[in-house]
Amino acid sequence: AHTGKTSMKVTGTVFRDQPMLKLKAAKEYVVSMWVSRENENVEDFSPESLVKIGSNDGSGGFDDAAGTLITVPKITKSKVIEGWQKIDFEFSAISENQIIAIQFLPGAENLFIDDIRFSPKTGGITTYVYDPTKFWLRATLNVDNYATYYYYDEAGNLTLKKQETEEGIFTI
């Protein structure tokens, strides 16, 4: 879950493509991620200036030519929750077997990316986060990429559960 402990720190413009993920023409997809800065008192992010969704241009570069490679993405964002904001990009590919690419544009400040997920828009996905040494379930991320956090005592008994929603994090 987006605690920042193992998030990806972006210090300059970075391009990441996923050649194993071949998009199907006219199928709708969602890329969901949580973004943050080193300053947790972030008021709001402008997704368009931080992240771009596009395609590998065939020569190892990034191409975000909306309308020729992908449809103009629909971008939605959540409120800032404890310094993190969820950003969802909905788009569809124009051509068959297109390779998705994401470009991160942090600007002058470092950008942190966590819990990035890619899936068909109609697909349901739940992800799980485990403690790397005790193998206890630490969090689940639901279909909307919001977390449920699990807290344990020294014996491994569940002592507290918190649910993240659009309104913030609440104890269950």
**pLDDT surpasses 70 at 63:** no
Using one digit for the tens of pLDDT, what is the confidence trace for 96-146? Answer: 877 788 888 888 788 889 999 988 998 889 999 999 999 999 999 999 999
In terms of DSSP bridges, do strands 111-120 and 8-10 run parallel, antiparallel, or are they unpaired? Answer: antiparallel
What is the reported pTM? 0.83
What is the model's pLDDT at position 68?
53
Per-residue pLDDT, averaged over 57-61, amounts to 58
Q: Which stretch of DSSP H or E encloses residue 41?
A: none
What is the model's pLDDT at position 26?
86
- Contact between 55 and 99 under an 8 Å Cβ cutoff? The reply is yes
Rounded CA separation 102/122 (Å): 21
The closest of 48, 54, 86 to 71, measured between CA atoms, is 54
- Contact between 15 and 103 under an 8 Å Cβ cutoff? The reply is yes
**Token code pair at residue 159:** 């002592």
Rounded CA separation 169/167 (Å): 7
